[in-house]
Structure 1
Amino acid sequence: MALNYHEVMTTDLGLLTTAAGKWDSMAAELNKVETRYGDTVQKITLGNTWVGVSAGTAQSGFASTRYEYAAAQTQAKAIASLLRDAHTQFADLKKKLESARDDAIAAGMSVSEQGRVAFDWSKLTPAERSAYHHDPDGQKTISEAVTKWQKHIDDRVKAVDELDQNVKLALSAEVIDSNKDAFGKGADATFNGFNAGAKGKLDEAVKDGKLLQAATAADGKPKDDGVTVTGPDVGLTISGVKNGKEGQVKAYADLFHAKAEGSTTMGGVKLSGIDDLTVGARASASWGLTDKGVNGKAEVSAGVRTLTGGKAEYGHVGVNGRVEGFAGAEAQAGVGAGKDGLNASAKAFAGAKATAAGGGEIAGIGAGGTAEGWAGAGVEAKATFGKGDDGKWHIGGKVGVAVGVGGSVGAEFTVDPHKVGEAFDDAADAVGDFAGGVKDTVGGWFD
Structure 2
Amino acid sequence: MTTNLDLLTAAAAKWEAMARELKKIETRYGSAVQKVVLGPDWNGLSAGVARTNFAATRYEYAAARIQAEATASLLRDAHEQFTGLRRKLRSTRDDAVAAGMSVSEQGRVAFDHDRLTDSERRAYHHDPDGQRVIREAVTRWQQHVDDRVEVLTEADRAVRTALAAVVVDSNKDAFGGGGDATLNGFNAHAEGDLAKAGARKPDRAGTRTDGWTSEGSASAKGPGAEFKVTGPKYGKEGSVKAAADLFHLSAEGTAAHGNWKLSGVADGYGGARATANYGFTDAGLVGRAEASAGLRGLAEGRGEYGPYAGVYGRAEAFAGAEANAGLKAGKDGVVVNAKAFAGAKGSVAGGGEVAGIGFGATAEGWAGPGAEAKWGVEKNDDGVYKIGGKLGLSPALGGSLGLEFTVDPDKVTRSVGDAADAVGNGIGDGVDALGDTAGALKDTVGGWLP
TM-score normalised over the length of structure 2: 0.51
Structure 2 counterpart of 1:288: 279
The answer on whether the counterparts of 2:222 and 2:247 sit within 8 Å (CA) in structure 1 is: yes
The answer on whether the counterparts of 2:228 and 2:240 sit within 8 Å (CA) in structure 1 is: yes
The answer on whether the counterparts of 2:208 and 2:214 sit within 8 Å (CA) in structure 1 is: no
State whether structure 2 residue 439 is matched by structure 1 residue 440: yes
Moved more, 350-359 or 244-253: 244-253
- Once the 2 structures are TM-superposed, how far is the Cα of residue 267 of structure 1 from its aligned partner? 4.7
CA distance in 2, matches of 1:250, 1:446: 37
Structure 2 counterpart of 1:405: 397
Deviation sequence 1:31-57 (CA, Å, 0-9, x none):
xxxxxxxxxxxxxxxxxxxxxxxxxxx
Secondary structure at the counterpart of residue 320 of structure 1? strand
Deviation sequence 1:296-324 (CA, Å, 0-9, x none):
00000000011100110112211001000
State whether structure 2 residue 217 is matched by structure 1 residue 218: no
**Unpaired segments of 5 or more residues in structure 1?**
1-82, 84-167, 177-211
- Once the 2 structures are TM-superposed, how far is the Cα of residue 295 of structure 1 from its aligned partner? 1.3
Structure 2 counterpart of 1:312: 303
State whether structure 2 residue 370 is matched by structure 1 residue 370: no
The answer on whether the counterparts of 1:398 and 1:409 sit within 8 Å (CA) in structure 2 is: yes
CA distance in 2, matches of 1:224, 1:421: 31
Secondary structure at the counterpart of residue 332 of structure 1? strand
- Once the 2 structures are TM-superposed, how far is the Cα of residue 223 of structure 1 from its aligned partner? 2.4
- Once the 2 structures are TM-superposed, how far is the Cα of residue 428 of structure 1 from its aligned partner? 2.0
After superposition, the Cα gap between the structure-2 partners of 1:339 and 1:438, relative to the gap in structure 1 and judged at 3 Å, is same
- Once the 2 structures are TM-superposed, how far is the Cα of residue 263 of structure 1 from its aligned partner? 1.1
The answer on whether the counterparts of 1:300 and 1:332 sit within 8 Å (CA) in structure 2 is: yes
Structure 2 counterpart of 1:298: 289
CA distance in 2, matches of 1:263, 1:235: 32
The answer on whether the counterparts of 1:424 and 1:443 sit within 8 Å (CA) in structure 2 is: no
Structure 2 counterpart of 1:4: none
What letter corresponds to residue 309 of structure 1 in structure 2?
A: E
What letter corresponds to residue 353 of structure 2 in structure 1?
A: E
* Larger Rg belongs to: 1
CA distance in 1, matches of 2:410, 2:267: 28
- Once the 2 structures are TM-superposed, how far is the Cα of residue 404 of structure 1 from its aligned partner? 1.4
Deviation sequence 1:219-268 (CA, Å, 0-9, x none):
5xx42311111000111221111111010111111100011011121352
What letter corresponds to residue 411 of structure 2 in structure 1?
A: K
Secondary structure at the counterpart of residue 325 of structure 1? strand
CA distance in 2, matches of 1:422, 1:298: 38
The answer on whether the counterparts of 1:357 and 1:370 sit within 8 Å (CA) in structure 2 is: yes
1:392 maps to which of 384, 387, 392: 384
What letter corresponds to residue 346 of structure 1 in structure 2?
A: A
2:353 maps to which of 358, 361, 364: 361
CA distance in 2, matches of 1:318, 1:333: 32
CA distance in 2, matches of 1:389, 1:381: 24
- Count of aligned residue pairs for this structure pair: 241
CA distance in 1, matches of 2:214, 2:444: 36
Any residues of structure 2 matched to 1:228-377 within 5 Å, and which?
228-315=219-306, 316-377=308-369
Deviation sequence 1:178-205 (CA, Å, 0-9, x none):
xxxxxxxxxxxxxxxxxxxxxxxxxxxx
CA distance in 2, matches of 1:435, 1:408: 43
CA distance in 1, matches of 2:381, 2:239: 16
- Once the 2 structures are TM-superposed, how far is the Cα of residue 291 of structure 1 from its aligned partner? 1.2
Give me the identity figure in percent.
Answer: 51
Secondary structure at the counterpart of residue 244 of structure 1? coil
CA distance in 1, matches of 2:249, 2:211: 27
What letter corresponds to residue 228 of structure 1 in structure 2?
A: S
Structure 2 counterpart of 1:194: none
Secondary structure at the counterpart of residue 285 of structure 2? strand
Identify which of structures 1 and 2 has the higher relative contact order when contacts are C-alpha pairs closer than 8 Å and 6+ apart: 1
Dislocated runs of 4+, deviation >2 Å: 212-215, 388-391, 444-447
CA distance in 2, matches of 1:335, 1:278: 26
Secondary structure at the counterpart of residue 390 of structure 2? strand
After superposition, the Cα gap between the structure-2 partners of 1:446 and 1:252, relative to the gap in structure 1 and judged at 3 Å, is farther
Any residues of structure 2 matched to 1:160-239 within 5 Å, and which?
213-215=207-209, 218=211, 222-239=213-230
The answer on whether the counterparts of 1:399 and 1:409 sit within 8 Å (CA) in structure 2 is: yes
What letter corresponds to residue 224 of structure 1 in structure 2?
A: E
What letter corresponds to residue 211 of structure 2 in structure 1?
A: A
**Unpaired segments of 5 or more residues in structure 2?**
1-171, 173-199, 424-430
Any residues of structure 2 matched to 1:132-143 within 5 Å, and which?
none
Any residues of structure 2 matched to 1:45-124 within 5 Å, and which?
none
Deviation sequence 1:389-413 (CA, Å, 0-9, x none):
4431011011001111100001010
What letter corresponds to residue 337 of structure 1 in structure 2?
A: A
CA distance in 1, matches of 2:280, 2:220: 37
CA distance in 1, matches of 2:326, 2:315: 25
The answer on whether the counterparts of 1:218 and 1:264 sit within 8 Å (CA) in structure 2 is: no
TM-score normalised over the length of structure 1: 0.51
CA distance in 1, matches of 2:309, 2:391: 29
The answer on whether the counterparts of 1:258 and 1:276 sit within 8 Å (CA) in structure 2 is: yes
- What RMSD in Å do the two structures reach over aligned CA positions? 2.1
